[in-house]
Structure 1
Amino acid sequence: MSITEHTAEAAAIAGPDRTRSGRRKQRRRALAGFLFVSPAVLLVVVFFLIPLCSAAWMSLHRWPLMGEARFIGFDNYVRMWGDTRFWDAMQFTIYYTIVVTIAIFAVAFPLALFVQQPNRANSFYRTAIFLPVVVGFGSAALLWVWLMNVDTGLFSPAAVALGITEEPVNLLASFNGVFWSVIIMVVWKTAGLTMVILMTGLQGVPGDILEAARIDGASPAQRFRRITLPLMRRTIALALTLSVAGSMLAFDQFYLISSGGPRNSTLTAVYWIFTQSFVSFRLGYGSALSIVLLIILVIISTIQLRLLRDPRDTK
């Protein structure tokens, strides 16, 4: 038998063994990958999928806090269409989301441009600006309630001392006072996180491209508009989605600062869901409103991501 025939015979014998060995390695890799992601999958199932399915099931029932639940089909969803208070709350929530998102980006983007260069001074500024993010929304809202108190707070006496007003002003007595106070509080609380996200995107823009554009005569505004912003599409989409989702789910600040007042003018969608579920004890109806709010939020987030989609993602 020639050397060629011996080689072919050995390869024919070893071929199936190599195939089986390769398949075992692939199975081990797949098992290892599953073990790595299994904690995250378990958390998603326990804290998202199961509650979501439970809420969807509850929305099909008249579900009192005490007593037996009764299946009523889609009656809760039919009733929702005539709930003017819910749609007013949704309208206010969307208005609040638009205003606070614009305000957050108007503050966070200049701050990100200011602190993007790595040096000791900027490290201090980043820390100082980011500190309010670690404060809980409940604590921040309670702090703001004290600051806005007409008798014991700081804002009203400061306005009188500076000559802005002639007498103490109760900021919690009017819609504009409550609304803009909450906007300022939320911007103070969350702009640091958006700044860090945008700063990361700014630092990812290649410096050689900006330098080449500068040499070609592009002004700073042109470089920012034509190079920096397009290359930050993904970063901006992430920051915008987080801001919009958080604003659409606003509850703590309005619950603690204004309790939905004055005259329910600052009632948010989540606040109304909370009222129906845990004040009026209509858990089934509150679940139906939650499902609708989730669908609206998914639609808004999908539109955002499509509008800000990076052209490179479609290739």
Structure 2
Amino acid sequence: MLITPSVIFLLLFTLYPIARVFWMSLHQISVTQPWLGTPFVGLDNYKEVFQDTRFWHSTWFTLAFALITVVFEIVIGLFLAIIANKTFPFRGLVRAAILFPWVLPTVTNALTWRWMFNSDYGLFNGMLMEFGWIDKPINWLGDSNLAFVAVCTVAIWKTSSFMAIIILGGLQSIPNDIYEAANIDGANRLQSFFLLTLPLLRNVIMVALVLRTMHALQAFDLMFGLTQGGPGNTTESLPMYIHNIAFIDMEWGYGSALGVILFILIFAISAIYVKFLYDPD
């Protein structure tokens, strides 16, 4: 009786939407052609997905984006957390500064960085030309490779602080006695870091990796605000492609199939993390 409200909440707002999307993925549903009804097509939508070159490109882009950003974010976040865990004047102010990029809305971040990357009046081109490092402005968001670098840079700048806050909580839970004992035994700082700090942070890092990877695989607002998926859909993430199919082209059946595949992809990667990183002891 006590858990009934929670169970009802999960059924209505979690399990039912998932089941509904899966049901829709087995039907042809076109909002622009309502006279066609919702005929059952079985796995035809999924067959079409795997023959869709735009799907494969958006998937590979999403995976590459998640891999690169998560690796850099965990390294930078660990570095920032170690600094924030030290005792020094104005430590609270430094911690607030570390958290600042994360609390800003992603769209606000994207638009701000878009102005800085602007080829005509952007900050980066202005600085590079002022120092004489370039002769003419660089079209940062008009080149597919540079646009990818720009998207990853903004994501790393924003989310490294999120990693830092999670890891900082783990660092503060480690007793200082352990380091004192290691110091007495002759361990230097580098040995203490690799033999004590990292193993004790294993579960914390796993949680940070799972949360951030799930967030990176669902990235939409950053690409939408920074590049609009361009140039030529080269920075279009899989969630952005799903949005375009479902809410621009109004193909709900095919869009649902894409959503189911994204759900399976995120679930599989999260399961791999838990399998190899989670330590119940």
Greater CA deviation, 215-224 or 119-128?
119-128
Listed as ranges, the gaps of 5+ residues in structure 2 are none
**AA of the residue aligned to 2:64:** Y
Aligned pair count reads: 278
CA distance in 2, matches of 1:199, 1:115: 7
Identity %: 35
Structure ID, larger Rg: 1
Whole-angstrom CA distance in 1 between matches of 2:66 and 2:76? 15
SS in 1 for 2:48: helix
CA distance in 2: counterparts of 1:228 and 1:297, whole angstroms = 29
1:64 matches 2:30 = yes
Q: Which amino acid aligns with 1:252?
A: D
Tell me what 2:60 maps to: 91
Query: Which 10-residue stretch deviates more, 293-302 or 59-68?
Result: 59-68
1:162 aligns with 2:128: no
Task: Give the alignment's Cα RMSD to 1 decimal.
Answer: 1.7
- Report 1:159-238 matches (<5 A): 159-238=128-207
Distance 2:185 2:231 in 1: 57
Structure 2 CA distance for aligned equivalents of residues 278 and 70 of structure 1: 20
Pairing partner for 2:3 from 34, 47, 52: 34
Q: Give the TM-score, by structure 2 length.
A: 0.93
Q: Which has the higher contact order (CA 8 A, sep 6+)?
A: 2
Partner of 1:256: 225
CA distance in 2, matches of 1:104, 1:140: 17
Deviation at 1:42, TM superposition (A): 4.7
Aligned to 2:109: 140
> Post-superposition shift, 1:118?
5.3
Structure 2 counterpart of 1:239, from 202, 208, 232 = 208
In structure 1, how many angstroms separate the alpha carbons of the residues matched to 2:141 and 2:26? 39
Query: 1:44-59 maps to which residues of 2 (within 5 A)?
Result: 44-59=10-25
Cα 1:142–1:211 change in 2 (3 A) is: same
Aligned residue type for 1:58: M
Aligned residue among 240, 243, 253 for 1:284? 253
Measure the CA separation in 2 of the matches of 1:49 and 1:171.
42
* Aligned-partner SS, 1:125: helix
1:117/1:45 Cα in 2 relative to 1: closer, same or farther (>3 Å)?
farther
